[in-house]
Structure 1
Amino acid sequence: MNWLHSVTVLICILFLGFMPFESIAIRPVLDRLLGYTEAPDYRNGVGCPAMEELAETMSYCDPSFVHITMTLDSEYLRGSMAAVHSVLRHASCPEHVFFHVIAAEFDPEVNPRVLTHLVRSIFPSLNFKVYIFREDIVINLISSSIRQALENPLNYARNYLGDILDPCVNRVIYLDSDVILVDDVRKLWNVQLSGSRAIGAPEYCHANFTKYFTDSFWSDLVLSRVFGSRNPCYFNTGVMLMDLEKWREGNYRLKIESWMKLQRKRRIYELGSLPPFLLVFGGNVEPIDHKWNQHGLGGDNVKVSCRSLPPGPVSLLHWSGKGKPWVRLDEKKPCPLDYLWEPYDLYKPIRETKWVGFKARDVGRYRLWYSESERHRNEAGILVDQELRGKVGLEKEVKAIFWEVLDKVVRSVPSSAKIVIAGDFNRHTGVLLGGYDDVHEGFGFGDRNGEGAALLDFERAFGLVVVNSSFSKKEDHLITFQSAIAKTQIDFLLLRKGDRVLCKDCKFILSENLSTQHRLLVMDLIIMMSKKRRSEEG
């Protein structure tokens, strides 16, 4: 049996260039990007150099900076933002911390430029630079591992820091994305690397070092003598102090690559990017206090399990292993130590809440428009960050990124799924058809401009139609933006052509505005849904 379910979809005015919107049901990728709050603005404490005096001459090459490098991708974005937040919160001079962020050239979900703008929106005053990591330089050197996540090319970016970072950066702290600091990072920065040692890290000499290599390795008399007179100990590469001058002089990148090439021919280890580091640096690492890497909190690489901290002081917590705190917290299955990570989490998604009626209300820093007639049946609503009000006219580069992301999102939506795109596109499609009768039904306002034509071309490419242009209205009822000097139509609702028949009306509400000049658009949809029968008992 089929039944008709009337849904009023409230369409809010979003401003072009901010985080892109896709549809009423936000897809998981965008959901991970849209839920972040802005971090507090951390400033230098007493005894730090005065930023006002150095601002004109300071660059990231300045020796007063603490340099930190991390990788950044869409999958571990939440962990990376928590790590950055923890560093700034506990730093004595947060304005003198510089982050060198390594992003994959071809992130499967979001490109590096979008991630860059997202980081800036979360940390407006952060000192950082994004470097693009070309995965093709390492992809043919990676061998299979015991866990697929360990095969991500970005895990190997640390091998290339001497080549990627600018030559003036001679020293960095490398941090994984699943760490938080609870101490001043400058204390770690001040550790000196003695002699020819290029890296420093906490060593764990009680660990069984032999397990990191295969029997084939240890049975080979030549390979097993690689350590010579060195006394190698296990160390975790997720937290390292690196002298890039010594790194470059020692050609350590080539030495690591040589072991990776051998691994492709002969299986000498199982564990991703760690073993080559152990082979090259084992027994020649500057030992750093264990408090700077209390690792293994994510369990081992096969089984997720809860672990406790060993006795002693803690400066850095590291959820290495399979389990990540944000995943376990979201699944309501956290380990006790995951609660120590939670205060640094800047991802605050809006939880599902039910209200009855057709109203608007404030929810924290957001404005909510919703429509629901019964408590047991959800209809639709939109939450909008109030800070978006009145912000228009963004740079061309930001707009280009918006269209690039929107294009990718629309392409990723299955043809069987329904799409509702809505927003302030800040362009005019006009009233005349002008060869666009397949995407525009003629009930528009004003004259078309070049950007309006580009919007219509976008719709044509994806089989969409402008819903606003489908209903005959009085001229004043076609206007979506009005100021003291202008009135126009720049806010549009888009549907697939095949879903156009589902829309029964498109109107605006004068009483609810996202800004003083934009009018709230409302679209009425009739969606056919299949009512499932309960299986008969007996």
Structure 2
Amino acid sequence: MMERRKVDILCVQETRWKGSKARSIEAGFKLFYYGVDSKRNGVGVVLKEEFVRNVLEVKRVSDRVMSLKLEIEGVMLNGDSGYAPQVGCELEEKERFWSELDEVMESIPTGERVMIGADFNGHVGEGNRGDEKVMGKFGVKERNLERQMVVDFAKRMDMAVLNTYFQKREEHTAKKKWDVDRTEENRQEYKELQRRVKREVSKAKQKAYDELYTRLDTREGEKDLYRLARQRDRDGKDVQQVRVIKDRDAHK
């Protein structure tokens, strides 16, 4: 997904990976993570390999908060990953999370850039009356204690809740309703939207195939096929050449 959408840094939550490590993963990315239990919580930051050498510091505060500092072209960037306790958790656990996140933010020198990628397990509510400086109009559902904590944090840190500044796709808003309020009515609504999305995806795939077949019947399509065939042939020769070199080295 990161490769397809050209994302260089991604904060992930509920990784459920125990340990305090960094490891290379597929497609040229590296994961920095921290967790104390393989069954719950865990946070991480995924970074494109070419930027790994720019990492200056990794702070693993808890299995709910960690931070990664990079220097890119003279600019200091802090990527913070957070995983807030769910609605049913004790107030003490929620307050500990916000205290840890405050501590990380206060340790960042003035002038450095900060991006927080977090699952705050809540919605800040529809509309933004009185909170225009920190959020847009496109939140969802009603605001409660957990949601108010997000807004209060944004005000303390002079930040903004970015995903409230654009309209969500319909299927995402159904998904959010089901995550927060798992009633039978919301479940049926979510399932119906899933079926609708699958139908639309199927139609889009069929359209793409039809366009491909149509193109293959043209002169440009034939050129594409020849170009792909030549590329595959070159790739095969490159692999064979590498193997021959290795074999020769082994005999020396």
TM-score of the two chains, using structure 2 as the length reference: 0.43
Determine which structure has greater relative contact order: mean sequence separation of CA pairs < 8 Å that are 6+ residues apart, divided by chain length.
1
State which structure, 1 or 2, has the greater radius of gyration over its C-alpha atoms: 1
More helix, by proportion = 2
Give the TM-score normalised by the residue count of structure 1.
Answer: 0.22
